[in-house]
Amino acid sequence: MKLGSINVVVKDPEKALETFLKLFGTNNVKKVVRFKGMTDTVDVADGYYLIMRLTNLGIYAPRNRDGRMGAHLEKYGEGIHHVEIHMSQEEFEYSYRKFKSLGWPVSKPVWYGRLSEAIFWLEETGEQHVPVKFATKAYKLLEEESTVYLDTPRQVEEVRIGEEYIRPRVELNTIVVVTNDFERQQQIWTTMLSRQPIEIGDQFKLTRREVPDGRGNIFLPVMYMFGGGGEVTRVNLYIAIIPEAPIKKFLDRRGKKVAYHNMTSFVTRDRMHEYWKQLEQAGFAMVDPKPYLQTPTGNYFFFVHPISTHQVLCEFVSIFVRDEAGRMVYDHSDSSLHLVAPEVQ
């Protein structure tokens, strides 16, 4: 199981594709897949799928207003709509049966014949309050009798990337979920993802700690980690502990208990300032006047304003990896500027 993709809804998929290629760099995108008429029996959408090293990015332009994605676009505008969890077929079928036994609102599984892939949704009406999609690369027919078999999407093809945008190493790997009900949501996400969360208030000791972000938020974070070493993807669950925090106001504006807040990418440590300048020169609205050095962790980070990224708040952090326990370890593998050799521990 891993965080397979973060998926956004947009009005103009062509414009969004150019935006995110320019943001991440074409050198960090392995392949771009275009789809037309993608349907799961509820939505019909056109768009693109950016296949990247750790977590993929889906760009969806729904054709109808009354589906999951169409209704979201109509109510909230562009932005993050759902995450897709990739898993083995055994995990996929087990999770579906488990969710049904718990009485959670799950859609009928859909089998895409041309792709030999199957998906189902945990609906937004569930206690997690955000839509979550589960997907597998199937090697045999599903046991669930209600499965809908579709010979769609009508067109899926790899497209050639035109103009190149060269960036430092960038890895999309984290979705941040914010909530007002921290303890209950930990229980829900623990059950949903079949793993225990890791306390990441202290990134090195993995102990609970209130984290100030320098922007008015003081929050408690936990992490659901998939993989290890340099191949980690994550779901981070945050709760603001002061009522005037921007996170709390974000939820209040939407009238929601839980929401997808931002996506986070890691960038080569000694190229953070160069990357920040590249994005500013490319016309992105930068929240920060420069990369900000976070003193508790020694990490640089900055945000790109959602006004220039189709209402998706994008965070970039100087790159690190995690050991098998989930503790933070600095990654100097791509560094070119140093006085002490990176291999010296």
338, part of any domain: no
| Lowest mean pLDDT, pick from 124-128, 157-161, 179-183 | 179-183
Q: What pLDDT digit, counting tens, does each position of 115-154 carry?
A: 899 999 999 999 999 999 999 998 888 888 899 998 866 7
Q: Are residues 92 and 32 in the same domain?
A: yes
Question: Does 246 lie in the same domain as 120?
Answer: no
Same domain, 135 and 284: no
pLDDT band at 2 (very low <50, low <70, confident <90, very high): very high
Domain boundary among 94, 128, 159: 159
Domain assignment of residue 30, yes or no: yes
Mean pLDDT confidence for 278-299: 89
119: CATH:
3.10.180.10
The overall average pLDDT reported for the chain is: 90
Between the alpha carbon of residue 133 and those of residues 110, 230, 245, 312, 339, the distances in Å are 11, 25, 29, 19, 46
Among residues 93, 125, 159, the one where a domain terminates is: 159
CB 69 within 8 A of CB 9: yes
Is 340 inside a domain boundary?
no
Would residue 13 count as lying in a domain? yes
Residue 185 has pLDDT above 90, yes or no: yes
Q: How confident is the model at residue 250 (pLDDT cuts 50, 70, 90)?
A: confident
Angle, in degrees to the nearest 10, between helices 89-101 and 182-193 = 130
**52-92 confidence digits (pLDDT tens):** 989 999 999 999 999 999 999 999 999 999 999 999 999 99
Number of structural domains found in the chain:
2
**Is residue 102 assigned to a domain?**
yes
Q: Does residue 148 share a domain with residue 59?
A: yes
Whether residue 344 is contained in a domain is answered as: no
Residue 200 has a pLDDT of 80
Residues 276 and 304 in one domain: yes
Phi-psi group of 255: left, alpha or beta (phi > 0 → left; psi -120 to 50 → alpha; rest → beta): left
Looking at the fold, whether 59 and 197 belong to one and the same domain comes out as: no
Q: Structural domain of residue 259, as residue ranges?
A: 170-330
Residues 144 and 293 grouped into a single domain: no
The reply to whether 98 and 176 lie within a common domain is no
Q: Are residues 136 and 176 in the same domain?
A: no
**Is residue 126 assigned to a domain?**
yes
Q: Which residue has the higher pLDDT, 41 or 319?
A: 41
Mark which of 159, 193, 227 sits at the end of a domain: 159
pTM of the model: 0.92
Looking at the fold, whether 234 and 145 belong to one and the same domain comes out as no
Asked if residue 300 belongs to a domain, the reply is yes
- Residue 297 pLDDT greater than 90, yes or no: no
Considering the domain architecture, whether residues 177 and 151 belong to the same structural domain is answered as no
The two structure tokens encoding residue 103: 């009485």
Regarding whether 154 and 101 lie in a shared domain, the answer is yes
User: Once rounded to an integer, what is the mean pLDDT over residues 248-271?
Assistant: 91
Spatial distance between the Cα atoms of 113 and 146, rounded to a whole number of angstroms: 16
In this structure, are residues 35 and 58 in contact, taking their beta carbons and an 8 Å threshold?
no
